[in-house]
Structure 1
């Protein structure tokens, strides 16, 4: 008998966690991750639930709560995957829910843009808010020590 891979088991646990209280159906059969006023959204959400397994009937969680819970479950699953597959992505990675993307060097200028926009209404109107990137999950590779890099160049 063949044993299941860790990824198959982890994926099943991830889906079970989602189905436990995040992805549910209302008493009227509307999936919690659907826009109840959009037939395509309901159809897509139902298709997702059909693929994952039977959904519980439960009241829909408030949007912020459901979103935060979903992000947390996804971040844990992604982190687990990175831990188990260092041969695919060498290095040390950090997986976190959201956060300030401007804390990363390549996005540091976004804090400056936000400060400029806050101080000048015309610029704020011209820029809009599309320049603010607010990721649900951040995956960052920890920088390597110089000693590690030296080994690469010997």
Structure 2
């Protein structure tokens, strides 16, 4: 089995074994149980989530745990941790495609200064300092200029010895501002933000809008190239996925944690409208499986 297929299965096992994807007794809508990623007020969501989870558990060779659903913040944090681990075990193995000194990290802080650590956004750190010092500026800017990603992939700038390893590419006569060259960083060497991954265990309209706003802020506030901006979700409802996936310009793409099993579940439930919407997103290159994410991030 390939690394990406193996780690996909391991990701699903992790979600079940760590009681992120679980089920609990549930008699509403003629369902004997309800999975943790379902909307208990929507019959379609419950039926799809239950069948989807059953298929994932069967393929992963594990049994769903029966327990009360954890609170939303806990589920969100644990899903972010699972996504971080998956990317560490996949993207960091693509050195033949993307050589360099890489880091995959879950961002635990939601402070305004977080994004200012990265080369394209170092100016935001100074802006944040000024905003904290001058209330007029703070009131004018609000928090709209800041973003705290869920999971980031960053690259360290390279020293000249590494850049010139095979042939002399740089010297002291030119190339004085390229961010990839460590010597061009005057003070502290800031990492280059390569990707921002928004992790959403489930989606509601407000969460979709928040993700879009964060993506636009990343694009507008940067100085330099835009990082990859993607979203990863376990949402079972095609219409809610579409609220973020459809359209272009905000995100690179939305990735589903079990797209193949979701399609199988919709076929089995004869949910034709949801299936048509799902396939239109896939055909339109707006929705992909989690296994596609590492290779897409290597571009």
What TM-score, normalized by structure 1, do the two folds share? 0.77
- Whole-angstrom CA distance in 1 between matches of 2:99 and 2:166: 13
- Whole-angstrom CA distance in 1 between matches of 2:43 and 2:128: 37
Residue in 1 that maps onto 2:21: 23
| Contact persistence 1:82–1:93 (CA under 8 A) | no
- Whole-angstrom CA distance in 1 between matches of 2:39 and 2:135: 33
Residue in 2 that maps onto 1:83: 92
The answer for unaligned runs of 5 or more in structure 2 is: 27-32, 59-63, 169-299
Shift of 1:50: 5.2
Between the two proteins, the alignment pairs up a number of residues equal to: 151
- Whole-angstrom CA distance in 2 between matches of 1:30 and 1:115: 47
The answer to whether 1:102 aligns with 2:116 is: yes
Residue in 2 that maps onto 1:146: 160
Residue in 2 that maps onto 1:93: 102
After TM superposition, the structure 1 = structure 2 runs for residues 5-154 of structure 1, keeping only pairs within 5 Å, are 5-20=2-17, 21-28=19-26, 29-37=33-41, 42=46, 45-46=49-50, 49=53, 52-53=56-57, 55-98=64-107, 99=109, 100-119=114-133, 123-124=137-138, 126-151=140-165, 153-154=167-168
Q: Which has the higher contact order (CA 8 A, sep 6+)?
A: 1
- Whole-angstrom CA distance in 2 between matches of 1:40 and 1:131: 38
| Contact persistence 1:110–1:132 (CA under 8 A) | yes
The answer for unaligned runs of 5 or more in structure 1 is: none
Task: Give 1 or 2: higher strand fraction.
Answer: 2
Shift of 1:40: 6.8
Once superposed, which parts of structure 1, at least 4 consecutive aligned residues long, lie more than 6 Å away?
Answer: none
